[in-house]
Amino acid sequence: MQQRSIMRVGVPIAIAALALSACGSRSDSGGTSSAGSGTKTAKIGVIAPLTGDLSALGKGIQHSVELAVKQANDSNAIPGWKLEVSAQDDEAKADVGKNAATKLAADDAVIGVVGTLNSSVAQQTQPILNTAKIAQVSPANTNPTLTKGADLANPKRPYANYFRTCTTDAVQGPFAAQYLLGQGIKKVATIHDKKAYGQGLVEAFTAEFVKGGGTVVSAQTINPDESNYQSVVSAIAPSAPGAVYYGGEYPQAGPLSKQMKAAGLNVPLMGGDGIYDPKYIELAGTTSNGDLATSVGAPTDSTAAGKKFLEEYAAAKYAEPAAAYGGYAYDAANAIINALKVSLKSASDAKSARDATLTALGSVSFEGVTGKVSFDQYGDATAKVLTVYKVDAGKWIASKTDTFK
């Protein structure tokens, strides 16, 4: 996640839904029409944490999709069709996400889904949406097994409906390792939260760090449901690491960093895109200066398209900022919309166009907010640009942007 400007925006989803439904009544097939106009309806679902610790990220995803859909409707991007957003809260929990996917799959008007935030949730939503032939495009899932299967040495795409606009831990973890080695740090401790995202990130980081001549002097895990990490800090402190690499998200990473510094372990905590959020700095406090995070893509406000997105997001006056994944969610929604321009052209209803949408999505290619948006044979983003951010005076500042090699 880049040093993105933080926008405030706020139209509750219920109001947005009412506004959209005012355009016309829906049939059971999700295809119908505004009074007398013959306009049909298709829905893009959102599955993200809209409540709980990670809601700052989830709301940014939701609103960015809403913005893309509003712009598509305003420009009549798909003649004869109106798009709606159906946002579902997964609470960052796999079982809740599974229920959200089941609900969306049962709605014949749903033709695509943007989400999820968490890789562990995606593992539950993928098979449900795949069975229903509903396209799923994640702006945030970074676990490589989601697109290449459990055997990464012999990759095989497990679900043809699944795509992502972000890069993976197979790129993000090694990028972080190369950065620390380049800073002269040869000894690190690793910690992860036992979840798919965090564990995968640490595994990818460790392999590259050791390959580059570094040493992992201590490898620990935490329970993400706890808030006291003193035992873990005490376990790694005697090994005197030059940095601590953490796989997980900011609700745990912030307090972990604060407790490290309070215990005298005054070294940078580095993590992935899951900690790149202003709330991390709030939780970690003033001693977080020098902490590091990687995020996919170049800083949003460093490109013309990114600046335009941030300006339009701000103008929409949503209650929550776009946050770390807003640009990727906006690109994910527009990838689906671009596919719908092909698949809905002659479709009688949304459900009958699901297969064609998957085919069209695989061929999508356009310049998005985060760079060129296109997908490889596994559904992964073809872009491999990442940025390292450093906390400086209470803000995330871009330290290095490069293409992973």
DSSP string, 37-101: T--EEEEEEEEE--SSTTHHHHHHHHHHHHHHHHHHHHTTSSTTEEEEEEEEE-TT-HHHHHHHH
Please check the confidence at residue 328 and state whether its pLDDT lies above 80. yes
Average pLDDT, the chain: 91
Residue 217 domain-assigned (yes or no) = yes
Please check the confidence at residue 236 and state whether its pLDDT lies above 70. yes
Give the chain's radius of gyration (CA, Å): 21
Answer whether the bond into residue 370 is a cis peptide, omega within 30°: no
Contact 6, 396 (CB under 8 A): no
Say yes or no: 310 and 341 in one domain.
yes
Contact 350, 41 (CB under 8 A): yes
Q: What percentage of the chain has pLDDT greater than the value 70?
A: 91
- Provide mean pLDDT across the span 342-371: 96
Helix (H) or strand (E) segment spanning residue 402: strand 395-403
| Predicted pLDDT of residue 29 | 33
Please check the confidence at residue 110 and state whether its pLDDT lies above 60. yes
Contact 272, 294 (CB under 8 A): yes
Single out the residue of 193, 185, 191 nearest to residue 215, CA to CA: 185
Say yes or no: 190 and 269 in one domain.
yes
Say yes or no: 116 and 203 in one domain.
no
CA 397 to chain centre: 20
Single out the residue of 300, 245, 231 nearest to residue 274, CA to CA: 245
Q: What are the C-alpha distances in Å from 101 to residues 9, 75, 86, 116?
A: 26, 29, 11, 10
Please check the confidence at residue 303 and state whether its pLDDT lies above 90. no
Say yes or no: 145 and 174 in one domain.
no
Please check the confidence at residue 3 and state whether its pLDDT lies above 50. no
| Predicted pLDDT of residue 301 | 87
Strand order in the sheet with 135-138: 81-89, 40-48, 110-115, 135-138, 162-164
| Predicted pLDDT of residue 37 | 57
How many Å apart are CA 48 and CA 42, to the nearest integer? 20
How many Å apart are CA 79 and CA 336, to the nearest integer? 16
CATH number at residue 368: 3.40.50.2300
Q: pLDDT grade, residue 346 (50/70/90)? A: very high
Please check the confidence at residue 10 and state whether its pLDDT lies above 60. no
Please check the confidence at residue 86 and state whether its pLDDT lies above 70. yes
Contact 240, 269 (CB under 8 A): no
The CA-based angle 259-260-261, given to 5 degrees, is 90
Q: What residues make up the domain containing 181? A: 169-296+386-403
| Number of domains comprising the chain | 2
Say yes or no: 369 and 352 in one domain.
yes
Residue 379 domain-assigned (yes or no) = no
Residue 6 domain-assigned (yes or no) = no
Say yes or no: 18 and 131 in one domain.
yes
Contact 81, 340 (CB under 8 A): yes
Please check the confidence at residue 38 and state whether its pLDDT lies above 90. no
Residue 5 domain-assigned (yes or no) = no
Cα torsion through 152, 154, 158, 161, rounded to 10:
90
Cα torsion through 325, 331, 335, 340, rounded to 10:
100
- Provide mean pLDDT across the span 56-81: 97
Phi-psi region of 82 (alpha: psi -120 to 50; beta: other; left: phi over 0): beta
| Predicted pLDDT of residue 2 | 37
Please check the confidence at residue 18 and state whether its pLDDT lies above 60. no
Residue 198, SS3 per DSSP? helix
Q: What are the C-alpha distances in Å from 335 to residues 68, 93, 107?
A: 10, 26, 21
Q: What is the pLDDT of residues 376-389, one digit of tens each?
A: 999 999 988 899 99
Please check the confidence at residue 17 and state whether its pLDDT lies above 50. no
Residue 72 domain-assigned (yes or no) = yes
Please check the confidence at residue 127 and state whether its pLDDT lies above 70. yes
> Six-digit token pair at 335?
């990838």
- Provide mean pLDDT across the span 310-335: 96
Please check the confidence at residue 226 and state whether its pLDDT lies above 80. yes
Residue 342 domain-assigned (yes or no) = yes
- Provide mean pLDDT across the span 335-344: 98
Say yes or no: 31 and 178 in one domain.
no
| Predicted pLDDT of residue 19 | 35
- CA dihedral over 48, 54, 59, 60, signed as positive or negative: negative
Q: Which of 27-41, 104-118, 262-276, 371-385 has the lowest mean pLDDT?
A: 27-41
How many Å apart are CA 291 and CA 288, to the nearest integer? 5
Residue 180 domain-assigned (yes or no) = yes
Say yes or no: 227 and 279 in one domain.
yes
- Provide mean pLDDT across the span 138-164: 96
Beta strands in 73-224 (DSSP E): 81-89, 110-115, 135-138, 162-164, 187-192, 215-221
- Provide mean pLDDT across the span 323-327: 93
- Provide mean pLDDT across the span 255-280: 96
Please check the confidence at residue 27 and state whether its pLDDT lies above 70. no
- Provide mean pLDDT across the span 264-280: 96
List Cβ neighbours of 64 (8 Å cut-off, separation of 6 or more).
Answer: 139, 313, 322, 325, 326, 327, 329, 330, 333
- Provide mean pLDDT across the span 38-59: 96
- Provide mean pLDDT across the span 134-160: 96
| Predicted pLDDT of residue 196 | 87
Residue 223 domain-assigned (yes or no) = yes
| Angle at which helices 304-316 and 326-343 cross, to 10° | 90
Say yes or no: 74 and 177 in one domain.
no
Beta bridge partners of 76: none
- Provide mean pLDDT across the span 318-330: 95
Q: What percentage of the chain has pLDDT greater than the value 90?
A: 85
Say yes or no: 235 and 260 in one domain.
yes
* Phi–psi pair at 334, nearest 5 degrees: -70, -30
Say yes or no: 251 and 340 in one domain.
no
Q: What is the pLDDT of residues 153-201, one digit of tens each?
A: 999 999 999 999 999 989 999 999 999 999 999 999 999 999 988 999 9
How many Å apart are CA 124 and CA 185, to the nearest integer? 38
pTM: 0.83
| Predicted pLDDT of residue 308 | 97
Please check the confidence at residue 7 and state whether its pLDDT lies above 70. no
Q: pLDDT grade, residue 31 (50/70/90)? A: very low
Say yes or no: 182 and 289 in one domain.
yes
